[in-house]
Structures are given as C-alpha cells and as structure tokens.
Amino acid sequence: MTFKAVRFGIEDEIARLVLNRPEQRNALDLDMRDDIERAVRELRTRGGAKALVITGAGGAFCAGGDLRALSEGRRPTTANRERIRRLHVWFSELLDLEMPVIAVVDGPAFGAGFNLALAADFILATPRAQMCAVFVRIGLVPDLGGLQLLPRIVGLQRAKEIIFSGRVVGVQEALSLGIVHQIVPQDDPLATGVAFAQRFRTAPTEAIGMAKTILNQSFNLDRHALAEMESYAQAVALETPYHHAAVAEFLSKKPLGFVWERFGDNAMEK
C-alpha cells in the first residue's frame, strides 16, 4: 500500500504513522486525510500491531487544515457540511482504535492538528511543542472532535478559555493541564514514541482495547449502562489466553509479563 502524504508501517508490533508534508508543516490536505483513513482501516482489519505512534516530520506535528486548499473555490454549504462529516468517519475509527495510541508532538499542533493529537491516549511533547485551538482567529469553530475532546481533558471552563482566545498553550502549561503525559527530548520524536509504545508489546491488547472502548463512553452513559458494558467485557477477558497465562504465572510465582514500572519512565525527561 502506497501513501502520498504520510509514512506508515508496522515494525516489531508497533505501527508508525508519520505526517509527511514538512514543507507545509504537515498541514492536513485531502491526500493526508485519505492516507490517515487508509492507515487506520488497515490497522483495524489487518491487525499485527500492539500500539500506534503518530508524529510529524520536519519539526512540526501538524499546523492544522491546509487553508490554501480550503480557499480554492467556493463550495455550497451542503458540500462543506459533507466534507466535515467525512472527517469524522476516519476520526471516529481512530478514536475507537482498540490499542494504545501515542502522539509525539514536536513543534506546532494547531487547529485540527491539536485535535488530532488529543485523539491519542498519550501525548508526549518535546520542549518546543506548541498547541493552539486556532480556529477563532479565522472565524471558525473547532472541528475534528475538538469540542468534545478538549473539555473532557481540561474541564469545560478552561476549554472555553483556550478555544475562545485562540492562544498558544506551551508545553509546560499543557503538562500541568493534563493534555501532555510527558515531556520528552526533541532529538528523535519517532524513536521516543516507539520506545514508549514498546512497553505495550507485552500488554493484554484485548483487555486494553475493551477498557478503552468503555472509557470513551464513560461521559455519555449512566452507571447502569457502564456496568453492563463492564460485565460483558470482563466475561470476554476472563476467557482470553492472555488472562489464563497470567493467572498461571501468578500461581506459580513467576513474574508477570506486563508490569508498567519495569519499563523505566526515568529514561525520559519529565
């Protein structure tokens, strides 16, 4: 499978998706959107990956939508609506991807690029990372899930302030707000993301995937509906080979295969 605007591949059970339009600071054009959609579909149908790492090439994560492409010709309102709705097809598949997704933000993550990073389960950011809900500066509202994702991370009032102001959020503030999980060196963002993702190679992908699916619904459903989802998921998890092997290891007093503290967070800058 060939891609025009991203680099995508799976190696050692870790999928790598690199936004690759560095001359445009990895702005999202139609080719990039199509490429991301195809990559996510491949992960969902082909399997073989324990985690996905997303980053950008050339010292930028993603500068947002490609305004030059957007401004080429006026479209009917219905066409613009359909264009945005189509974004949410692949974006929803990315959000629902039943594996850990790690975004490594180096440089700007603006507009839709900010929201693309927010779709990840973990955001690692270099010291020069900058995030901005820039839409208000050009008279637009946030798209690509920003109106849902940001308030769930930072709270409603702070999300309003970030969106209404269109100001830049630096990496230290993003860390304090819980947007960023960890600050990491900027020498090789992809390698840093892959190193972080490698710890999930020994993790129970099925259990994490089901937990992620339920967590993604946890703000929308009442406790009774969540209890039903939990019951079904646990019934499935109890019959997985991973669970059976882990119980056998525990009973025989062998080390468990997945222990987070063994993976050395101290190797990364915090």
Same domain, 152 and 249: no
Instruction: Say whether pLDDT at 71 is over 80.
Output: no
Q: At 257, which CATH number?
A: 1.10.12.10
Per-residue DSSP letters for the chain? Answer: ---SSEEEEEETTEEEEEE--GGGTT-B-HHHHHHHHHHHHHHHHH---SEEEEEESTT-SB--B-HHHHTSS---HHHHHHHHHHHHHHHHHHHT-SS-EEEEE-SEEETHHHHHHHTSSEEEE-TT-EEE-GGGGGT----TTHHHHHHHHH-HHHHHHHHHH-PEEEHHHHHHTTS-SEE--SS-HHHHHHHHHHGGGGS-HHHHHHHHHHHHTTTTS-HHHHHHHHHHHHHHHTTSHHHHHHHHHHHTTPPPS--GGGG-GGGS--
In a domain, residue 1? The reply is no
Question: For 42-61, what is the mean pLDDT?
Answer: 95
Count: domains in the chain: 2
Question: For 194-215, what is the mean pLDDT?
Answer: 97
User: Could you tell me the pLDDT band of residue 44, with boundaries at 50, 70 and 90?
Assistant: very high
In a domain, residue 166? The reply is yes
Q: Over the stretch 212-236, which tens digit does the pLDDT of each residue have?
A: 999 999 999 999 999 999 999 999 9
